[in-house]
Amino acid sequence: MTAQNQTPVTAESLQSEITRHLKLSLGKDPKHASLYDWRMSLSLALRDQVVEPWFASTRQTYEGKHKRVYYLSMEFLIGRLIEDVTINLDVEGVAVEAMSALGQDYYTVVANEPDAALGNGGLGRLAACFMDSLATLAIPAYGYGIRYEHGLFEQHFENGQQTETAEGWLAQRHVWEFERPEVAYNIHFGGYVSDEGGKAHWHPAETVLASAYDTPVVGWKGKWANTLRLWAAKPVKLFDLDSFNRGDYVGANAPERLARTISRVLYPDDTTQDGKELRLKQEYFFTSASIKDLLRRFLSEGNKIEDLPNHVAIQLNDTHPAIAGPELVRLLIDKHDLSEEAAIDTARQCLAYTNHTLLPEALESWPEDLFARILPRHHRIIQMIQERHLQQTGSHVRIIEHGNVKMGELAFVMAHHVNGVSALHSELVKETVFSDLHAAYPDRILNQTNGITPRRWLYSCNPALRGLINDTIGTAWHTDLEQLQDLNAHLDDASFQQAFRAAKATNKDRMAKWLKDRNGITLDTSAMFDIQIKRIHEYKRQHMNILETIALWNEIRDNPTANWTPRVKIFGGKAAPGYALAKSIIHLINDVAATINNDPVTKDLLQVVYPENYNVSMAEILIPASDLSEQISTAGKEASGTGNMKLSLNGSPTIGTLDGANVEIREHVGAENFFLFGLTAQEADAKRGEHGYSRRAIESSPVLSRVLGQIAAGVFSAGDRYRYSDILHNLYEHDYFLLSCDFDEYFAKQREVDAVYQDVPRWTRMAAANTAGMGWFSSDRTIRGYAKDIWGTASVI
Ligand code: GL2
């Protein structure tokens, strides 16, 4: 059987498979089955449907000797999978019917699935969208990452402050994966290197086992399926019996402890030095296992090692897997006897690197002594790579400098292409962090603007809008999102406009119900839903949003009977646990919410909500319900953004700066459908050169001065004048992210938003024009770009 001609699933066949799994896999009588049991049985029945296409795709790749893409990423933020599979297999209706015949509500069952939260934010979600597009486009590919026992932490608010608890997605059985005990590699750390007979020998001190777990990733209509292979760390020997017999019961468990620690937690990014050593071990652990695995597959097909670049394209998702370069070189020299030059050359032809940030704290570097201690052989190899790079290019850029091993430089030197993630970002990569390397390798940097999978971020999460689009322009957009531009012909049509508003109203009602059930909060669905959802970070400027909220509150209180546009300000996002200022921002938002939401004067006009523990499945509810998308980062700091794309695609115009992919979104949806404000990246840089710019900007803004004065007076902190002195000090003294300079323009632009929102046909037109204009931002387009410009691969069916 091939993937393309599988027997269609019917409600009856699915129902009987669910019942069979309930009895035989779960051991439950339907009479006593819990929600969990139903979810497991449904998942298993659906998983069965994926297996054939998966086998067929794998067979086809082997038989056709097709080049494979290997996407190496520390994060895969895949979220829930039931809905993903039913949508891609086109069996959602069938699943709803089958569950209903069994007396179960399909959507309740779906909502019972925990999110696989194996990522922090955009970078991890991008990897998940890319896996979806690779499968849809039938490009043979493997995603390689870590099977973290605990994904990103669970966020709670206690008295308005973020607290964190361990996340337990694996506490219940994870039925989507297949354990592969036979696919395991020894991964070594530490020790020393000796030279014997002209060859280097690494004598490691520690070894753990990387053991594979495979999840099939099925594409649209089940025509193709790829593999997400996640590595779990296990001890090489289960138990140290010698230690136990000596009475050292704790020491006896040491091998298990080291191993489990490696794949235990996902590190929140943007953090401090904590756990540096462990993080380096995690990176090497999954990268080494992946490289060994792809080499084994390549050699098992009877290929010659020199042919590697014709069969293998390795994409490094940020610098986290940058050790792939030296690891591949090491294996080619030490195990396959290639010369140094041939090894570097071969490795480089396989490797490409995506840069996702210009923020200095996110560009990884390791203290050289730590690095040399954990990976002594790689340390030498990097020195060798550096020497050749310096000699060949005459460049002065070193990979190891001032006692640090710089992973961005390493990834750059070892990659045949380096890409940024939006047009602006790729230019800034050339002009700033990698300007010298760009001069040495002028053809290396290119751009691939990010994208999002329309299957999850429109088709699945927004059935109301999906239905309207199908009725209006047909269904060709399901595989070719740019067809959405056909909606442009209907933008001024009154009945289309009314239906568009009805779809938005449905989504707002759905979100309001969700929030009521979850937190007991009542939302005014006739108010504008103004949404900012993303990690909490100074550069993203959630604090500018909450200061603007206070300013609006002041204005309403000054003049309560004016013609105000009611708004609900909605925030969602986590702060890295070690990032104190981001945590203060969360506290401030919650404090302001407590004050404003209890003000009888403004309560029908302004509300602030911040549901805790933002994740992918929350985004799937919030995004379709949004009226206004906040993309207000300091220009030059958001590499791309992908939430901006999801919101705009779902008919939510942006208020934003010329940053990251906002620039291209504005071009595609039309400047008249985008609320632009703020300094450009160049102006922002120039501004930072002006002495005392922030204090001057604050003093010349009566609106902002008043807000900051209220915070300083303890208006939102029960009289506590010092609760927010960190934020205030930061803004007055070194407002690097230029909140003070952009604030007035932002506030004025928000009042323009208020006015346009009251002009219902105009607003509807803008919102629908956003949907119509966003087709280019499908991750299918992005993946085609990578395939053509970087990997040299294509669809194989
Ligand atoms: C990020 C960037 O901050 C974000 O702008 C970009 O959209 C994504 C995906 O390219 O990558 N970099 C990063 O480290 N995280 C991101 O979200 N976590």
CATH, residue 592: 3.40.50.2000
Q: Are 150 and 39 in a shared domain? A: no
Round to whole Å and give the CA distance between 519 and 511: 12
Question: Of the residues 47, 356, 490, 723, which is catalytic?
Answer: 356
Q: Are 49 and 191 in a shared domain? A: no
**Pocket perturbation via mutation, ligand 1, pick of 120, 640, 646, 777 by most ligand atoms within 8 A of CB:** 640
- Asked about 534 being catalytic, the answer comes back as yes
143 CA to middle of ligand 1, Å?
Answer: 18
Phi and psi angles of residue 476, each rounded to the nearest 5 degrees, phi first: -60, -25
- Asked about 574 being catalytic, the answer comes back as no
Residue 737 included in any domain: no
For residue range 336-365, what is the model confidence (pLDDT) as tens digits? 999 999 999 999 999 999 999 999 877 899
Residue 505 included in any domain: yes
Question: Of the residues 229, 330, 534, 637, which is catalytic?
Answer: 534
Q: Are 147 and 277 in a shared domain? A: yes
138 CA to middle of ligand 1, Å?
Answer: 26
Question: What DSSP line would sit under 420-460, residue for residue?
Answer: ESSHHHHHHHHHTTTHHHHHHSTTSEEE----B-HIIIIII
Round to whole Å and give the CA distance between 203 and 191: 5
Short-list 587, 569, 577, 575, CA closest to 532: 569
Q: How confident is the model at residue 273 (pLDDT cuts 50, 70, 90)?
A: low
Residue 244 has pLDDT above 80, yes or no: no
* Residue 642 Cα: closest atom of ligand 1: 7
Q: Where are the extended beta strands (E) located within 598-756?
A: 606-609, 628-631, 654-656, 675-676
409 CA to middle of ligand 1, Å?
Answer: 19
Q: Are 568 and 672 in a shared domain? A: yes
* The Cα angle at residue 536 between residues 694 and 545, in degrees rounded to 5: 55
For residue range 111-150, what is the model confidence (pLDDT) as tens digits? 999 999 899 999 999 999 999 999 999 999 999 999 999 9
What is the ipTM metric for this complex?
0.99
Residue 190 tokens, joined: 């530490």
* Residue 357 Cα: closest atom of ligand 1: 12
Q: Are 274 and 352 in a shared domain? A: yes
> Ligand 1 pocket: which residues have CB below 6 Å?
120-123, 126, 269, 356-357, 362, 421, 450, 638-642, 660
Helix (H, G, I), strand (E, B) or coil at 497: helix
Residue 735 included in any domain: no
Domain count, the chain: 3
Phi and psi angles of residue 273, each rounded to the nearest 5 degrees, phi first: -75, -10
- Asked about 65 being catalytic, the answer comes back as no
Share of the chain above pLDDT 70, in %: 98
Residue 240 has pLDDT above 80, yes or no: no
Instruction: Tell me if the pTM is above 0.90.
Output: yes
Query: Residue 1 has what pLDDT?
Result: 39
Round to whole Å and give the CA distance between 694 and 732: 6
Average pLDDT over residues 321-343: 98
Residue 734 included in any domain: no
Q: Are 499 and 569 in a shared domain? A: yes
360 CA to middle of ligand 1, Å?
Answer: 14
**Pocket perturbation via mutation, ligand 1, pick of 123, 779, 786 by most ligand atoms within 8 A of CB:** 123
> Strand pairing of 528-533 and 628-631?
parallel
623 CA to middle of ligand 1, Å?
Answer: 18
Q: Are 441 and 464 in a shared domain? A: no
Quote the domain boundaries for residue 560: 454-680+743-779
- Asked about 304 being catalytic, the answer comes back as no
